[in-house]
Structures are given as structure tokens and as C-alpha cells.
Structure 1
Amino acid sequence: MTQTTPPGWHPDPGHSGIGPAQERWWDGSRWTDQLRIPPATVRRRRIRIGAGVAAGVVLLAAVGGGAYVLGDSSDDRTDTTADAPSDPSGPSGSPRLPGTPDGGGQDGGQGEIPDQQMPQTEDGYATDLASGISIPVPDGWTGQSGPIGAGLTTGEYACPGDESQKCVRGGVFSAPAQALEVEATTAKAAAEGDIETNAEESYGEKIYGGITSHEQLKSEAVTVAGQKGYRVRWKVVTKNGDDGYVESLAFPSPRSAETLVVVRSGFDVNDKAPKLSVLDDITEGIKKASAAAGSGQDT
């Protein structure tokens, strides 16, 4: 250990090997409690896809009951640990939630996720390994696990504003707050700060012609996976197609209190869409991911 190494982000010496490698902030004399997923791991590439998502290479970027947006993620790093940073020229910067720019016209990075970072399939659940949670998959829904992000969808159909795109009647997706560029330090601030983005990306201009108005249905504290969280739920009115319900739920990861998790949900207002009670059931069923979830293949 050296006391002269300048402050900066460095590989977390306490990384357990479960989930993507994280970086911990070294303040120049000691390790702090601040953790982040390396920005290189949280690359984004916005694409619209149908229900068939390539297992294991998906990072949630945005979600909705209508169109949902996913991005590829890759991890080029080799997991390393150390007692203290020893290379002053290594990764550094001020403590912050990292942004994830769109890569200057590049795809944002494609690659294979090492097997040891693939979540192990757990019957009836979709696992978000980075967030440390498993989300129950209702009967008739499709669940997708991932190293960064997890999702559930049901009721695929052609989007009203662009029939070449695929929409879903109901969608529930999770990711670490920093992967969604939600800059907040509390669950309440994260949920309140994310709901408008969630609404726009779920039922916005390109697919539904835009949102003409919204009504707030819920803004309340809620316990999720044993953690004190917060949710905000809106009903949005669109120009084209169905209106929708959107919800942003935020809570500390049950695996790491320093990591905020955001769960975005969107349900069409339509007789063919799931009832809102299903969303409440899903929220109540979210749990801490199994400690064994660190290997295996997704389905």
C-alpha cells in the first residue's frame, strides 16, 4: 500500500467474483464505500428489437410497455484485486455516477460476456446480476436475465407509429441506476428523477406520437427485497395508439447498499394488457439474487 497514490477509481479489492467487476474510490489514503461499475462495462447502444434478445449480451438502456430499448454490453476487463492502487497513472477521476456516451457513432461495444459473469438461471425468475436481484416471471411472460439488467415482457405486437418496430403490452426491466444515467443518491430522488425519462422512452414521439398529458397515480415509499425504496407511477395519454401506465421504482441493491437499482415498468391501457395488480405482484416478488448466481447459461 502506498500513501502517495492519488485519489481515483481502481479495481475493487473486495470484489467477490459475483457479478461484473466494480471499481472502488481510493481517496489517497484509504478505500471508501463508493462503488461503481466501470464506464467501459456500461457501454450503450440503442436499438429496437423484438422479444427475442440474445442471451447474456444485453444491457437495459430504456424500457416501456410499448416499445422497449436495449443495448449491447461488453466487459473487456480482466478481474483484478489489490490491497491498494499502486499505479498513479491508472484510472482516476472525481467520484461520480459515470455517464455512458453513445460511442461517437460506434455500436457502443459488442462482445461476449465471460461465462463466470453470466447469471445462473433460477426457475421462475429473471436475474439482474449487477443489481443483485431476481424478478419473478409471471405465467405467460418471457424473462431475460443478464449481467447488467434483467427484463420481463408479454404481448408482443407491431408498434402503432412504426409497424416495423416491436412493442409489448407489458414490460418490467431493471438495471443499476448508473447504467441508466440516473444521478441520485436516494431511492426517492432516483424514482422521481427517472419517471419522465421512462415515460418518454416508453410512449414517446417516435412510436406513439408523443405524450399529451400525464396523471400521477402513486408517489410512495415501498419495501422491495427487504430494502426501503420508492416508486412513482404515472398514467400517460399518447397521440397515437394506446395510452399507458409507467412506473419507476428505485431501491438500494440487497447485495450492496451503495448501489441504487432502478426498475422501469410500462403497461398498455388495453384489455389485452396485464392488469396493474400484476405489476404490484411482481414488485412484491423481487428478491435478492441467489449467491450461486454467477455462472451458467441463460434461457
Structure 2
Amino acid sequence: MSMTPPPGWYHDPSYPLVERWWDGTAWTDHRRQPGTLPVSLAPPEPAGQGPGRARAVALVAAGTAGVVLVAAIVTGVFVLGRNDGGGGGAAAARTTPSGTPSTPSAALSPTGASSTAPRSAAPSSGAPSVVLDELNGITLPLPGGWVAPSDVAEDDVVMTTPGTYDCPGDPGLCRHGRVSSRTVTANAERSPKALAEQDIEDAANSVYDRDVLGGHPYRGITSHRLLKAGSVAVAGRAGYLVRWRVRTGVGPGGYVESLAFASSVGSESPVIVRFAFDAGAEGPPLADMDRITEGIRPTGDTDAGGGVGSSIGPSR
């Protein structure tokens, strides 16, 4: 009996000299050179704990005595360009990889039975925790006051503020802050400036206008104001950010930012990091947007330049 291999890095059937990411259903546009070191992850959670296509994302912490993984949360790949009601994306070849690689380099269980890559949290011995996005080849810092996402409907959320509150509009639970990371695959645009400018409206609407269930937790956006826009170095690559202050029908409104830059691994597909912070005393400090941006690094490289005010690296 033939079985569909789980998500992971496999030899590209169209170009065997490189490895390509198989999401469990189809080939994505992510490629890398063979021999890239895998990231050690915790054992996967039971199946069925998260919707969507798999993305290798893990929360890890740098410790002086090593890294101890203590929890796992399943997450999935998101494709930029999907609307609020469902996913959309560029067509991908559906050739199934033949067999399972002898040494899996993706976040898989030893038996290869896991259909998703776990996301796990670990304590740090005085050092800040980070979010590891293996698929895009980056890590993001997890500042104080932020936690791993729990009971979040959106698969691409990588951190939130702790706890929830009753939304001021339609019934539901809202959060004071969230950060998400997604890969741009349904859009041929490569310019970070164009991508950020195109994404910001959708980023604002996805949180402060209509939620994934179709409700209006803040009774919609009544107006927005541009606070900041400009080039920024992210993980040593040229990026661009656009930040809005949005006013809502009810509640204090919030701050939304779209940060676009090219991944430094594989096919260097563009990456979008979205920030959504409630305004008012209960929201996280706006400076956390810059702190997280400044702390984004290529996987395995803690010394790469990046962040607001840094010199801008090469772009593609």
C-alpha cells in the first residue's frame, strides 16, 4: 500500500541536486541546498490539533547549558493572498515524493508519521526566547509579555499577548497583541516596498474589521492614519515596513504593521511579518514592533545585522 509522505525536505523531482519542501499535499516553492543542518524539535502533539498545511515552526530558547523543549503546538503554512474565507495560492506540482529520505531534515517524528511540524516552548537560562521559523529560515525574538499562541484560529500566528478579553463588538474573545509570519507564494511581486504597501490593508482588516468567523469584533475600521513607512534591514536583507493607526467602531482601535523582506534561504521567497497591537493602556508597547524587527535573524546566525536603523543588506 502506498502512503503519502509527511511534510518535509525531499529531493526535488525536477532538479535532484536541491531539496524542496513537500507540505504533505503538494510541492511548495521553497528549495535549499542538501546538507542544511536540521533543527532539533520536541516530539509532535497528537494529530488533529491544528488546521492548515504544515509549516516547520518551533519556539526555542538559547540557554547556557543547552535547550530544553517542553511543549508543542501544531501550526501550518499560510499563503499570502488568501481571503478571510479560505486559502488561495499559486498552483504547485502534485508529484508525490518517492519514498521517505534516509535522513529526514524536516521537523518530523522518528517514524515519519507526523503530518505537521511542532512548535514548542522552552525556558531560557537568562536569555530571551526566540521563535524559529524553519521554513523561512529566520528566528524572531519573544519579548517579555509575549507567549506562544494558544487556542488561536489563525495558523500563521507565532506569538500573542497572554490571555483574552471579551471583544467590544460582536461576541467573541479578542487579544491585545499578536504577531504572525507568512510566506509570499501566491504573488509574483518581489519588491519589499510593494509587498508591504499591498498587504497593510488586509493585515488591518483581518484583525480589526472582520475575523475568521465572519464577525465584527470591533464593529469595523472607521479610519486609519499612516504612522510610519520606510526601508529597514531585516536579518541582513533589505526590507520595508508600513505602520497604520486604525480607529474602530467600538474599542480603542489599534496599531497594525506589515513588514516585508526576502528570506535568506532556499528560493528566497518574500516573507511578510504582521503586527497587530491594541491601542490604549491594555495594549503592548508600540516599541515591541521595533524590538521584534531588530531581533529577526537568519536561522543559526545570532550576529547577522538587521532591524530599525541598521544598514540595509542585499535584496533580490
Determine if the TM-score, normalized by the shorter chain, exceeds 0.5. Answer: yes
Instruction: Summarize the Cα distance change of 1:272–1:76 in structure 2 as closer, same or farther, 3 Å threshold.
Output: farther
What residue is the counterpart of 2:141 in the other structure? 136
What residue is the counterpart of 2:207 in the other structure? 202
Whether the 8 Å contact between 1:121 and 1:127 is mirrored in structure 2 is no
Instruction: Summarize the Cα distance change of 1:175–1:80 in structure 2 as closer, same or farther, 3 Å threshold.
Output: farther
Whether the 8 Å contact between 1:128 and 1:150 is mirrored in structure 2 is no
What residue is the counterpart of 1:169 in the other structure? 176
1:223 to 223, 230, 233: 233
Distance 1:120 1:12 in 2: 33
Whether the 8 Å contact between 1:57 and 1:113 is mirrored in structure 2 is no
Distance 2:15 2:286 in 1: 40
* Larger RCO (alpha carbons 8 Å, 6+ apart): 1
Distance 1:78 1:70 in 2: 26
Structure 2 residue 148 is matched with structure 1 residue 125: no
2:242 to 208, 222, 232: 232
Distance 1:76 1:54 in 2: 30
Structure 2 residue 252 is matched with structure 1 residue 242: yes
Larger helix proportion of the pair: 1
The 10-residue stretch of structure 1 (195-204 or 149-158) with the greater mean CA deviation from structure 2: 149-158
Q: Any idea what the Cα deviations from partners look like across 1:56-106, whole Å, max 9, x if unmatched?
A: 2334579xxxxx9999xxx9954779xxxxxxxxxxxxxxxxxxxxxxxxx
The residue identity in structure 1 corresponding to 2:243 is R
How do 1:208-287 and structure 2 match up within 5 A? 208-256=218-266, 258-287=268-297
Q: TM-score, normalised by structure 2?
A: 0.57
How do 1:4-83 and structure 2 match up within 5 A? 13-16=16-19, 22-23=28-29, 55-60=73-78, 78=97
Instruction: Summarize the Cα distance change of 1:14–1:204 in structure 2 as closer, same or farther, 3 Å threshold.
Output: farther
Structure 1, unmatched stretches of 5+, are 1-8, 26-42, 46-52, 63-67, 82-110, 292-299
SS at match of 1:143: coil
The residue identity in structure 1 corresponding to 2:143 is P
Identity %: 35
What residue is the counterpart of 1:154 in the other structure? 161
Distance 2:276 2:144 in 1: 18
Distance 1:153 1:69 in 2: 22
Structure 2, unmatched stretches of 5+, are 1-11, 32-50, 54-70, 88-93, 101-112, 211-215, 302-316
Instruction: Quote the offset at 1:22 in angstroms.
Output: 3.7
The residue identity in structure 2 corresponding to 1:13 is P
Distance 2:230 2:98 in 1: 39
Distance 2:149 2:206 in 1: 20
SS at match of 2:175: strand
Distance 1:141 1:203 in 2: 20
Q: TM-score, normalised by structure 1?
A: 0.60
Distance 1:80 1:23 in 2: 20
The residue identity in structure 2 corresponding to 1:277 is A
SS at match of 2:168: coil
Instruction: Summarize the Cα distance change of 1:189–1:44 in structure 2 as closer, same or farther, 3 Å threshold.
Output: farther
The residue identity in structure 2 corresponding to 1:162 is D
Distance 2:288 2:253 in 1: 18
Distance 1:193 1:152 in 2: 23
The residue identity in structure 2 corresponding to 1:247 is E
